[in-house]
Structure 1
Amino acid sequence: MKFLITALKIVITTAFFLLLFQIFNVKIASLVTEIKDWRYLAAAASMPLTIIPFISINRWKLFLRVSGIVESFFTLWHINLKALFQGLIIPSTQGFDVLRIFYIDQRHPKHRGRAGSTVFIERMIGFVLLCLLSIVAIMSVAKLRDFQPLFLTIIAITVAVFLGLGLILSKTLHGFYTGYNFKNKIITRLFNYIETFHGAIVYFPYRKVLPLSLVWIAAFQLATVFTIYLVFCAYGYDIPFVQHVAIYPVIAILSMVPITIGGFGVREGFFVYFYALVGVPPSVAMGVSIVQYIILILVPATLGGMLILWEIITRRAVDISK
């Protein structure tokens, strides 16, 4: 069943790409030939290997520390890289978060559920901040009429996010199902994990961590948007940074919908649609979308794949020596 679902996702992803290439008459070679300044691309490629992981790991360390869990920077970076590589085939752009939860819970069995909840909490706060940044950026854009579709989209998403968070953070909801017992041991273990995971989210000391966490999360999001800005500059489009802050968060949020593998095709379609608002041709928008995915995801994921391969080789070497 899982194989059929994965195969269906691959078919849908391929279909999306072929459709977009045909509709907008985009040639694969143009993704490279339309690049005007490779220096900007080199600067963008350095971001996910330097500034972005520094911010993201310290952000995660903060949430873990408040939860009573201490981890080293390099251990968490190792987890992120491995999860990125293994999450490439998972639908949605944030599928690797499930693997991050698995790995951090595996490292801290006494804090299982509570450790994993930190991944969800940082994403939850980041989601809200992403929406608010986009709204502020859109309102600061001079030609607000041209951004009306974008503005209405982000408003709808923000309302949905706040309604969802109200449900997730409800102590009443958590208390409603807490303490239920089942005869089946597997169901009981699963239910206990959900109860612990959800409880850690509901009773997390948000006031204690919120000021500093907002700084780290905002820095991460702005660094990601700056990477997109650099890629557009590489293609010869020096679009004002505030317009990227208005547009990219909406694309990032909508691309999380688990329709295709890694959001491929869906993300490119949104890039074409929303960046057309600022006069970017479809071929350039698609090129930037693909290149930014390679830079932000595939480059660190490749390192993760190398780490996994190294672990397999060293583990086998140890087994042989025994």
Structure 2
Amino acid sequence: MNKTAKKTIAQKLFYVLKILISISLLTYLLLQIDWEKSFNTIRNANFIWLAVAILFSLLDMMLLTYKWNLLLKVRGMFVSFWRLFTINMIGGFWGLFLPSSLSTDVVRGYYLIKSSSDKAISITSIFVDRLFAMFALFAFVGTGLFFSGDILKDLHIGFYIIGFFVLSAIGVIVLNSNKFSRLMQNFDERFSNNNLVNKVIKLRSALIEYSKYPSTLLYSFVVSLAIQLERVFWYIAIAWAFGVEIPIVYYFIFCPLIIVILMIPVSIGGLGVREGAFVALFTLVGMKMDDAVIISFTSSLIANLFTISGGLFYLIYKSDHKIEDIKSAKIQINETEQT
């Protein structure tokens, strides 16, 4: 059995494992709730606040598209807002079903390359977009943890978050240093076929290119913070829809932390992990188990339905791009990273 076949089998087994984790977590949570009380809470839901939550989902995608458009325009690539919005929707849709090796960003990159034909700018824009989104998220989490008091003292989460943020900042500084540049040139000459070395070189190139536009990067960071803020209010709107009221400050502490936890690829689209993390954290501050489960399941339902709606955008553009082409996008992007 060759390496490719072994890798394929390993990916399939990992995918099955993620399905089992999602099912196990969801089953456990569903067995913990009082169904009669839960159905009564759902029947009395305020649909106006649920509609507000759906509008927040739309706002989230619009802000993501706006931020991406900023990063493209500053590099001289002009793609319409609607086209980028469509690409984001299609990317999110396929991200639910494709294996991790064919992520949302691969699909986004593929469609953008088809729209612009400039591979380098397309890929680096996505990378920088993700990088600053992560910085904003961890800045938000760090701030929340600073004001969390003794709530999470036994979890030592603050130490890991602050450590990650400090290491990331050091990493950016090192990547932009002249000494590191000379070091990577030596590595490039000796290990030109090494994927890790190629990715680090590509990472540094992207940072150098965008470091020429500090005002745009700062603005991108501010928009990323606004996105995190909007996502907190999204959870609050869902909670208010079911009449659940706890101090708002807890949402600012826990919701960004839940988003960080969802970055760990151990389930299908975060299913089960989102609900489990929400219940585990919010029950620490007095939220009833039944209410926490309802809010978390509703948030997953809204998020997944909105993401699935991206399939409509895919159908519109299906005649231009076949799924076989999308599956080959990773190869194209890898080729770009190595040039």
TM-score between the two structures when normalised by the length of structure 2? 0.77
Indicate if the aligned counterparts of 2:140 and 2:228 stay in contact, CA closer than 8 A: no
SS at match of 1:262: coil
Q: Which of 5, 8, 15 in structure 2 is aligned with 1:6?
A: 15
Q: Which of 144, 157, 176 in structure 1 is aligned with 2:161?
A: 157
SS at match of 1:145: coil
For the residues of structure 1 that align with 2:305 and 2:271, how far apart are their CA atoms?
16
Q: Which of 61, 66, 86 in structure 1 is aligned with 2:69?
A: 61
Q: Which of 85, 93, 99 in structure 2 is aligned with 1:85?
A: 93
Residues 285-317 of structure 1: per-residue CA shift (max 9 Å, x gap): 22212211222x32332221112223336889x
AA paired with 1:220? I
For the residues of structure 2 that align with 1:52 and 1:238, how far apart are their CA atoms?
23
Percent identity, aligned pairs only, is: 25
Q: Which of 100, 104, 108 in structure 2 is aligned with 1:100?
A: 108
Q: Which residue does 1:119 correspond to in 2?
A: 126
Distance 1:69 1:41, change over 3 A: same
Distance 1:65 1:31, change over 3 A: farther
Deviation at 1:84, TM superposition (A): 0.7
Q: Which residue does 2:170 correspond to in 1?
A: 166
Q: Which residue does 1:319 correspond to in 2?
A: none
For the residues of structure 2 that align with 1:175 and 1:104, how far apart are their CA atoms?
32
For the residues of structure 2 that align with 1:48 and 1:118, how far apart are their CA atoms?
23
Q: Which of 110, 130, 136 in structure 2 is aligned with 1:129?
A: 136
Residues 222-255 of structure 1: per-residue CA shift (max 9 Å, x gap): 1111111000111211233332111111110011
Q: Tell me if 1:201 matches 2:203.
A: no
Range with greater deviation from structure 2 (258-267 or 98-107): 98-107
For the residues of structure 1 that align with 2:146 and 2:87, how far apart are their CA atoms?
38
Indicate if the aligned counterparts of 1:84 and 1:300 stay in contact, CA closer than 8 A: no
Q: Which residue does 1:300 correspond to in 2?
A: 306
For the residues of structure 2 that align with 1:280 and 1:191, how far apart are their CA atoms?
47
Q: Which of 267, 270, 276 in structure 2 is aligned with 1:269?
A: 276
AA paired with 2:63? I
TM-score between the two structures when normalised by the length of structure 1? 0.81
Runs of 5+ consecutive residues of structure 2 not aligned to the other structure? 1-8, 323-339
For the residues of structure 2 that align with 1:288 and 1:236, how far apart are their CA atoms?
10
Q: Tell me if 1:213 matches 2:217.
A: no
Q: Tell me if 1:146 matches 2:151.
A: yes
Indicate if the aligned counterparts of 1:91 and 1:261 stay in contact, CA closer than 8 A: no
SS at match of 1:264: coil
Indicate if the aligned counterparts of 2:142 and 2:161 stay in contact, CA closer than 8 A: no
Q: Tell me if 1:16 matches 2:29.
A: no
AA paired with 1:263? G
For the residues of structure 2 that align with 1:211 and 1:253, how far apart are their CA atoms?
22
Indicate if the aligned counterparts of 1:268 and 1:286 stay in contact, CA closer than 8 A: yes
Distance 1:209 1:304, change over 3 A: same
Deviation at 1:81, TM superposition (A): 0.5
